[in-house]
Structure 1
């Protein structure tokens, strides 16, 4: 019924921006109202309910499905709207949910003859497809197998090991086939009869090879065999898949090489080889893939550099896993033809030398050749701390200096940099990168101070992790500014961090004093933190740390944190025995989550006085024996793994 409504929609009745503000009553909605949803929005909602996001793939499978159906244009706007106008989309979802045909798959399952889209829920004991799919021809366009939520969380495959040949012979109208996380060992030759198929997802299956008949699928646009760890080879005539745009081979660990005919996939836009550590080389003539926009070679240890004659790959926008060799001059020389790159991930920078070349061309920095770069990841790799100590700080600093990006950069990630300090473009010159809105500094074991990131006025996300020698957050970090746009801040694995001070000089101070407003603050494994001076307004506060100081009456700085009408999450705080009275200054909490706090015995009596408290989640707290009466009566109370707690 919904398929009929969506097929014959009338888009002229209401503009889409007005429709998103229409109020609908869940109990008295007019069914004919669905006819006036704009067609693309209606189809987007239909497929969103056929392929809901889960804890593993997020929106990835939905994106693939929409791309196969030609609905990818404007998709980002729809995803944004689904968050911005959450009430509107939730109500549409409720309507679809009422009339959606949901069933658990079984041998005797049947389907209405007019049904075009089927979403089958499989259980761990499911061992076969419904016999009805093999008995007579049907009109199915979409067939999706999805696991129960528990199976997804525990990453369990279902028990289906084979596909009857007659099934594909009867599904000739099929356009989308999703068989992810099954135990299928091989595809029948009749797969070649699905001439209308646009998307084939076998991710996580147990297949070792794909049949040659697969190459008959001239309409196939997306082939996803990621996490097929036993897959050893692809069909030799894969070039016959002339419509193929997305080839996803991530973590196919047994794959040794790609067929030479892969270079004949003239419409290929994305090739994902992440985690294919057994892949020895790319085929000769790989640069013939002139439409390739996304190449992912992360964790492919045997692949180095980029293919020869890269000047032909002018459409490349994202290059991940470029394994650096030689000098910075060599890197820049190889990348200079990829002037349209927007995202670049450089790895193995520990192998880069500081060699100078007098015959080198004029461009000597990344900013001179990649003017459109928006995302940059720089990764060194060290096997142990001795390697870090032995690394040359001068070479690391020079490599970082030569890889200076253009000021249009929006996202920067630096991992395992061996220098003791930041100078140059990420030190004194950081103020020129006003487009940066996300920075991650990870495992900088030798850095003793933080760079002046407060000067980045548009910075929204900041993560600093594994900075062993940093003891204080002070004026050097603020850089005379106040992080006015910052939304998410993470201090992680900072074993010597003791004090987080407020700045002595900032560009602007509120009449109530200096303050930082955040949507999320995470303090993860900062065991010595004992002083927290800035006034923080936080929507979500995460504390994952063994730090006895935080839970004693000596720590008075809870009053500097206002998490009112927000969320407090405590994870793995082994020294926490009770929530201190000072935490009542956090404000009126809406949600409290406590996980694996093994010494926590009870929740405090002041907690029920929080007028906005709606949800309390307690998990794996083995000593928890009591909770206040007001918390016990909450509808949003969830308890598991607490053997001493009796409700």
Structure 2
């Protein structure tokens, strides 16, 4: 379909509610698109559209618009007229900036910006009083500081800024009283973490921040904590201990990942985390793990360089899966380390461990899955 045919068709379908032109060869939309007064959803994914006509703002009933992978760089100012819009998907477009009128979309709940060429978030984004989800991962041109106005997003539940080049988060982050998920993995330029809302249930950030991170023990509702990925700055801190003691106070944690290759941790007692089910942690010196909770079901130890002792596993009666990754030992006597008390242990894995020459495990009679 070319633009002339679409213009003619629109004249005959003025009561249309759903329009999908995805993957078509269209490069423009006719101005007559504004005549579709009853249109609820508009799908332009994968089209060649480089710009939207001014009349797009006349779609007063439109609730969802998607432009994934369309090669457009800007939105028209009339976009602010989409007073019923609930979801706007601009993923993998060439969008450089958002118009200030984006703040007029008072009913917007979901905004997808991941993979765009976006350079800054406009200050008016703080006017999106019903926004619940803001996805802006892999925006490599997104730099500097997130505007303080973001603190006005009183309904925001998910904020994803992963793999962007932001350097600072504003102090107003703690005003996001409904925020449950904050994703900052791969933000290698991020300088520090401000005070965060106590409502958080899931938090991801790069490990270099552990040397400057404040005490986050107040996040007592946190369920998932992920501190992973290689970062260029890590080599600068590798001689000192990261600040991780506050993790002991996160009583609601169910999943914890703290993975930093070759970094030795200070002693930490995780036995206080009575709800923890999954633990993946760098463990260069196993004695740094002073205690583990009996609730653990899955345990993965990275970069083990020193022999493990049976005391590390003595109370893990619910453990069903144990894995060693990048283990630096030549042999592991699982009989000596684990004993016979791990009756629920069904899975055992030793991966990426080139030095391993011998594994001993004859008493693990309940084993169902072995990966070496």
Change (3 A) 1:195 1:301: same
Aligned to 1:481: 365
Following superposition, which runs of at least 4 residues in structure 1 exceed 6 angstroms of deviation? 322-328
Aligned to 1:443: 326
Aligned to 1:169: 80
Aligned to 1:131: 53
- 1:242 lines up with 2:154 in the alignment: yes
The one of 189, 197, 220 equivalent to 1:314 is 220
**5+ residue gaps in structure 1?**
1-98, 148-157, 355-363, 381-394, 492-647
Aligned to 1:397: 286
Residues 57 and 82 of structure 2 are in contact (CA less than 8 Å); yes or no, is this contact kept in structure 1?
no
- 1:143 lines up with 2:73 in the alignment: no
- How far apart, in 2, do the equivalents of 1:100 and 1:478 lie? 63
- CA displacement 1:443-468 (0-9 Å, x = unmatched): 11324236357965545654421122
Deviation at 1:471, TM superposition (A): 3.6
- How far apart, in 1, do the equivalents of 2:310 and 2:87 lie? 51
Deviation at 1:409, TM superposition (A): 0.8
- How far apart, in 1, do the equivalents of 2:19 and 2:188 lie? 42
Aligned to 1:57: none
- 1:424 lines up with 2:310 in the alignment: yes
Change (3 A) 1:290 1:241: same
- 1:373 lines up with 2:276 in the alignment: yes
Q: Which structure's CA Rg is the greater one?
A: 1
Deviation at 1:227, TM superposition (A): 0.9
Residues 127 and 161 of structure 1 are in contact (CA less than 8 Å); yes or no, is this contact kept in structure 2?
no
Residues 18 and 42 of structure 2 are in contact (CA less than 8 Å); yes or no, is this contact kept in structure 1?
no
Change (3 A) 1:379 1:215: same
- CA displacement 1:159-192 (0-9 Å, x = unmatched): 22111111x1332111111111111100011101
Residues 278 and 302 of structure 1 are in contact (CA less than 8 Å); yes or no, is this contact kept in structure 2?
no
- 1:350 lines up with 2:263 in the alignment: yes
- How far apart, in 2, do the equivalents of 1:490 and 1:469 lie? 16
Deviation at 1:267, TM superposition (A): 1.8
- How far apart, in 2, do the equivalents of 1:271 and 1:490 lie? 33
Deviation at 1:373, TM superposition (A): 1.1
By relative contact order (CA 8 Å, sep 6+), the higher-ranking structure is: 2
Deviation at 1:255, TM superposition (A): 0.9
- CA displacement 1:363-422 (0-9 Å, x = unmatched): x7321x211111212125xxxxxxxxxxxxxx813214x1x3111112222111112x43
Report 1:147-162 matches (<5 A).
147=69, 158-162=70-74
More displaced 10-residue stretch of structure 1: 218-227 or 314-323: 314-323
- How far apart, in 2, do the equivalents of 1:119 and 1:141 lie? 11
- How far apart, in 2, do the equivalents of 1:478 and 1:266 lie? 53
Aligned to 2:6: none
Report 1:580-591 matches (<5 A).
none
- 1:195 lines up with 2:81 in the alignment: no
Report 1:74-473 matches (<5 A).
102-104=20-22, 106=26, 107-108=28-29, 110=33, 113-123=37-47, 126-131=48-53, 134=56, 136-147=58-69, 158-166=70-78, 168-232=79-143, 233-252=145-164, 254-283=165-194, 286-287=195-196, 289-297=197-205, 299-304=206-211, 306-308=213-215, 310-321=216-227, 331-332=244-245, 334-348=246-260, 350-353=263-266, 365-367=269-271, 369-379=272-282, 396-400=285-289, 402=290, 404-419=291-306, 421-425=307-311, 429=314, 432-449=315-332, 451-452=334-335, 456-459=342-345, 462-471=348-357
- CA displacement 1:592-616 (0-9 Å, x = unmatched): xxxxxxxxxxxxxxxxxxxxxxxxx
Could you state the TM-score of these two structures normalised by the residue count of structure 2?
0.79
What is the aligned residue count? 337
- How far apart, in 2, do the equivalents of 1:174 and 1:249 lie? 23
Higher helix share: 1
Residues 345 and 377 of structure 1 are in contact (CA less than 8 Å); yes or no, is this contact kept in structure 2?
yes
More displaced 10-residue stretch of structure 1: 127-136 or 187-196: 127-136
- How far apart, in 2, do the equivalents of 1:188 and 1:314 lie? 38
Deviation at 1:313, TM superposition (A): 2.3
Matched position secondary structure for 1:243: coil
